[in-house]
A and B are shown apart, each in its own frame.
Chain A
């Protein structure tokens, strides 16, 4: 492959960004839909099958469509999905209210900070090991060039991810502060305390695969988890059999902290309705609220992607390095592909909804208790275990 010119690399990256943004904009309504349905099914309900409104106009058409879908064998499970159109219309057309005493600039920037932090992180996640497709030669600038599954395969990917993702908390804190109202302020402060506390065990548990493999790169980590030998700056590494133990414990610590990082149940203290109205986005309306919403779900996608890449085998079928027992010559499950990564992401996202439907919210002191007295010592012990495995095996 000849080296790309500056224009070519620029256009390729731009196209990748557009595709990634479209992916997020498609994935978020799907997650919202799945969330309502999963919680409904768990509670022996059907989830939502209609939207507010009558039988006339846009809402009426959607209601009739969903009623018709209910009679079909497969589509009856998807009933309710067309209502994301109504959700979108509502978010975009609602009146955008800015409180009179709010800090105008900060109030408008806070949702943007959240969204930008979330989307930036997605840029370094390696979704596919091989290029997704090659542009045909007829395409003007990028003809003949591959369309890679990752926008920029940074060699310190994890470091950048942890760094940029924690900027997202500024959006929440500043949004809460700029609203000039007591409930958003309390919600923002809670969120800051919670995210700062849980960042520590989260990073410790992410260090486990890093210590084992000696790489921070998404693609190399995926190769390592498949049992293949990799060459890193810290020397060659191949996964020992015992490495499954710290990876397994680390995965559950990571998932717990991931729930707390994205302010999801059972750690959704910043949005505790019974205490804080709606938390930091109480004063936000219209699309600015929509951006916070989007950032929350994009963060969920990031946590799922990182869990998939660093614990669950990345682009491979079996998690925790069990992939080594399947030789790469086996047709589908042996190889690395885009589909397995999406599958693992989907499973993690499902576990988010499953946990939300099952567990009640923690009290604030319990939250801090769990974070500081249990998860941090546990993740440190796990890290030591990983270091021992790395040293002796």
Chain B
């Protein structure tokens, strides 16, 4: 009898409709206001994406307050890298006591974005930044390094430079 009544009076359908109706009303009211947002959509090419703080993007060397590269070439990242995409060449620089990386190459095409390099670094001198537009038209564009290489790791990735964002703002 109970199951008969449950089939006859579709309370579960009513519950589902109530839930979806609630969300519809909420999003309809708040869909287009900047501050209160119920919806989970990011209008990506036109509006920049807000990423999670622990997002693992492209590898970047960090600089200190004087604009000096923090890396001291301990080669910890090069050793721990599972796919061996980091190549560091140790060198000297005028007016700097610690070793200076003459070359810091990063072959992104083989990188698995595991963040072992960042974890192994004892001097907090590298991070995986929040760039995710990493596609490129040429293979050379995936070999990233400091100044002088095909792609500079201190600049935006090539695709990000062609992002629709500015054009749509007009």
Contact = CB atoms under 8 A, between A and B. Distances in A.
Contacts of B27: 40-42, 44-46
A179 B134 CA distance: 46
B164 A42 contact: no
A76 B32 contact: yes
A70 B32 contact: yes
Interface in A328-385: 354-355, 357-359, 374, 378
Interface size class of B (residues with CB under 8 A): 20 to 34
B20 A358 contact: yes
A41 B31 contact: yes
Interface stretch (B39-47, B67-75, B99-107, B122-130): B39-47
Nearest to B18: A358
B31 to A, nearest CB: 6
A45 B167 contact: no
B156 interface: no
B31 A77 contact: yes
Given A44-B39, A55-B164, A76 B31 contact: yes
A359 B39 contact: no
B20 A46 contact: no
A77 B27 CA distance: 10
B51 interface: no
A180 interface: no
Given A55-B164, A55-B167, A45 B21 contact: no
A204 B23 CA distance: 35
A49 interface: yes
B16 interface: yes
Given A44-B27, A76-B32, A354 B20 contact: yes
A236 interface: no
A357 B20 contact: yes
A41 B32 contact: no
A64 B164 CA distance: 12
A46 B24 contact: no
B31 A42 contact: no
Interface string B26-42: 01100110000011110
A140 interface: no
A55 B40 contact: no
A44 B43 contact: no
Interface in A15-68: 38, 40-46, 49, 55, 64, 67
B16 A45 contact: no
A235 interface: no
Contacts of B31: 41, 46, 76-77
B17 A355 contact: yes
B73 to A, nearest CB: 46
Interface centre among B8, B24, B39 (most CB of A within 10 A): B24
Contacts of B32: 70, 73, 76-77
A354 B17 contact: yes
Contacts of B46: 67
Contacts of A40: 27
Interface of B: 7-8, 13, 16-17, 19-21, 23-24, 27-28, 31-32, 38-41, 43, 46, 164, 167-168
The 4 closest A-B pairs by CB, nearest first: A76-B32, A41-B27, A358-B20, A42-B20
